[in-house]
């Protein structure tokens, strides 16, 4: 019997099947020893040939370098620092909200009486969210906008407009007592009413008396790479920067958020004081992504290779006959 004929006859039993009740296994082994049939006539998946694999040149699980181990060890530290910073930020936000809420029932202070204390930034930070009273006239010809912003009081949004997107109307205000000009955030208007001609009835003229809260420059969102002042439209600002707006309009570096009581029909919606100076949801998402990414990286580099190796070995021996299975 030639080798080719023998291969054709036995090709169905030299693969994954053992043979007829295992009796062919002994016969094929004896025939292989007597005839010295080359191994190439048996399939690679033969369970009857006790072939040894070539020596492994690389480990089954690649060992990590010292640099990788150090970086993996630092991941929990970075995550812990991020969590601590997030906790401190939330604590500060809660404190500011309590301060703003406590100012609602207080008697407003005339702004003209404390103008001398607002000459430097540290004093402005100490007096931020102080309830003040103003009396004077608006200069509507020089108003500018801050956007895009959502309406903090959605229930007061004009009918037919969307509260999610609009602008703040910032108007110079000349004080009656001192003659100094400050900045007043009259409130929020939808984009359809950003043009002053669309809200003629809301443009107050003459002496006006209103109340509001002192504000300082907002911390810019670190993910916002736009300039503070739009280069295409000089009257549009992307962030509340009191110094830049005051320098552009040539006013004092004093900014007041008008309260909701200053709102009038067909005019800006007051009460837009926002405690958060940036998009907190984006920061929270970044923290959560950092935590999940660190856990996934730790699992992939430390746990997955070992489990994959064990799973591979078990699958390899599970496909073998009982005589060749791995003994635990």
pLDDT at 137: 93
| Same domain assignment for residues 13 and 80 | no
| Same domain assignment for residues 198 and 228 | yes
- How open is the CA angle 214-134-246, to the nearest 5 degrees? 55
What count of other Cβ atoms lies within 10 Å of the Cβ of residue 193? 20
Q: Is residue 61 part of a domain?
A: no
| Same domain assignment for residues 311 and 166 | no
| Same domain assignment for residues 116 and 256 | yes
Q: Is residue 232 part of a domain?
A: yes
* Number of residues assigned to the chain: 328
| Same domain assignment for residues 284 and 324 | yes
Residue-range definition of the domain harbouring residue 97: 72-103+279-328
Structure tokens at 59: 């480990």
Mean pLDDT split into 10-residue runs, the chain, 328 residues: 50 46 48 49 48 58 67 76 80 82 82 84 81 91 90 81 86 90 92 87 87 87 79 88 92 91 86 66 70 73 61 67 54
**Burial (CB count <10 Å: 0-12, 13-18, 19+), residue 56:** exposed
| Same domain assignment for residues 225 and 295 | no
Q: Is residue 268 part of a domain?
A: yes
Write out the DSSP string of 294-310. Answer: HHHHHIIIIIHHHHHHH
Q: Which residues contact 234 (CB under 8 A, 6 or more apart)?
A: 248
What count of other Cβ atoms lies within 10 Å of the Cβ of residue 250? 9
Q: How far apart are CA 11 and CA 304, in angstroms?
A: 38
What is the DSSP-derived secondary structure letter of residue 239? S
Q: Work out how many domains the chain is built from and give that number.
A: 3
Q: Which residues contact 224 (CB under 8 A, 6 or more apart)?
A: 238, 239, 278
pLDDT at 199: 87
| Same domain assignment for residues 217 and 265 | yes
Q: Is residue 292 part of a domain?
A: yes
| Same domain assignment for residues 20 and 135 | no
| Same domain assignment for residues 268 and 289 | no
Q: Is residue 62 part of a domain?
A: no
Q: Which residues contact 169 (CB under 8 A, 6 or more apart)?
A: 143, 145, 185, 186, 187, 188, 189, 268
pLDDT at 322: 60
Q: What is the value of pTM for the model shown?
A: 0.61
| Same domain assignment for residues 129 and 78 | no
Q: Is residue 65 part of a domain?
A: no
pLDDT at 6: 47
pLDDT at 319: 67
pLDDT at 270: 87
Q: Is residue 201 part of a domain?
A: yes
Q: Are 259 and 271 in contact (CB under 8 A)?
A: yes
Cα dihedral across residues 76, 80, 86, 87: positive or negative: positive
What count of other Cβ atoms lies within 10 Å of the Cβ of residue 85? 12
| Same domain assignment for residues 242 and 120 | yes
pLDDT at 181: 92
Q: How far apart are CA 124 and CA 94, in angstroms?
A: 20
CA distances from 221 to 48, 122, 149, 156 (A): 69, 21, 13, 27
Q: Is residue 64 part of a domain?
A: no
| Same domain assignment for residues 201 and 265 | yes
Q: Which of 318, 139, 103 is nearest to 212 (CA)?
A: 103
Q: How far apart are CA 187 and CA 175, in angstroms?
A: 19
């Amino acid at each position: 019997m030639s080798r080719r004929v023998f291969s054709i006859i036995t090709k169905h039993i030299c693969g994954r099947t053992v043979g007829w009740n295992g009796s062919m296994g002994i016969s094929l082994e004896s025939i292989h020893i007597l005839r010295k049939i080359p191994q190439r006539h048996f399939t690679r998946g033969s369970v009857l040939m006790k072939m040894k694999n070539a020596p492994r040149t690389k480990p089954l699980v690649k060992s990590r370098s010292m640099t990788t181990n150090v970086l993996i060890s630092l991941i929990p530290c970075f995550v812990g620092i991020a969590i601590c910073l997030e906790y401190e930020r939330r604590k500060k936000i809660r404190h500011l909200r309590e301060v703003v809420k406590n100012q609602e029932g207080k008697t407003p202070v005339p702004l003209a009486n404390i103008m001398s204390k607002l000459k430097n930034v540290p004093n402005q930070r100490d007096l931020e969210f102080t309830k003040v009273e103003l009396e004077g006239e608006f200069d509507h010809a020089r108003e500018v906008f801050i956007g895009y912003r959502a309406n903090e009081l959605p229930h007061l949004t004009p009918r037919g407009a969307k509260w999610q997107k609009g602008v703040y109307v910032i108007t110079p205000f000349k004080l009656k007592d001192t003659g100094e000009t400050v900045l007043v955030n009259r409130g929020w208007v939808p984009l359809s009413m950003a043009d002053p001609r669309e809200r003629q009835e809301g443009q107050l003229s003459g002496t006006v008396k209103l109340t509001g809260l002192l504000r300082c420059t907002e911390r810019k969102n670190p993910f916002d790479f736009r300039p503070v002042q739009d280069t295409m439209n000089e009257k549009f600002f992307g962030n509340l920067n009191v110094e830049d707006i005051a320098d552009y309009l040539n006013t004092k570096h004093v900014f007041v958020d008008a309260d909701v009581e200053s709102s009038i029909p067909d005019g800006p919606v007051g009460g837009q004081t926002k405690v958060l100076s940036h998009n907190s949801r984006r920061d929270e998402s970044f923290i959560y992504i950092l935590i999940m990414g660190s856990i996934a990286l730790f699992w992939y580099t430390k746990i997955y290779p070992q489990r994959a190796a064990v799973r591979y070995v078990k699958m390899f021996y599970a496909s073998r006959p009982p005589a060749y299975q791995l003994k635990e």
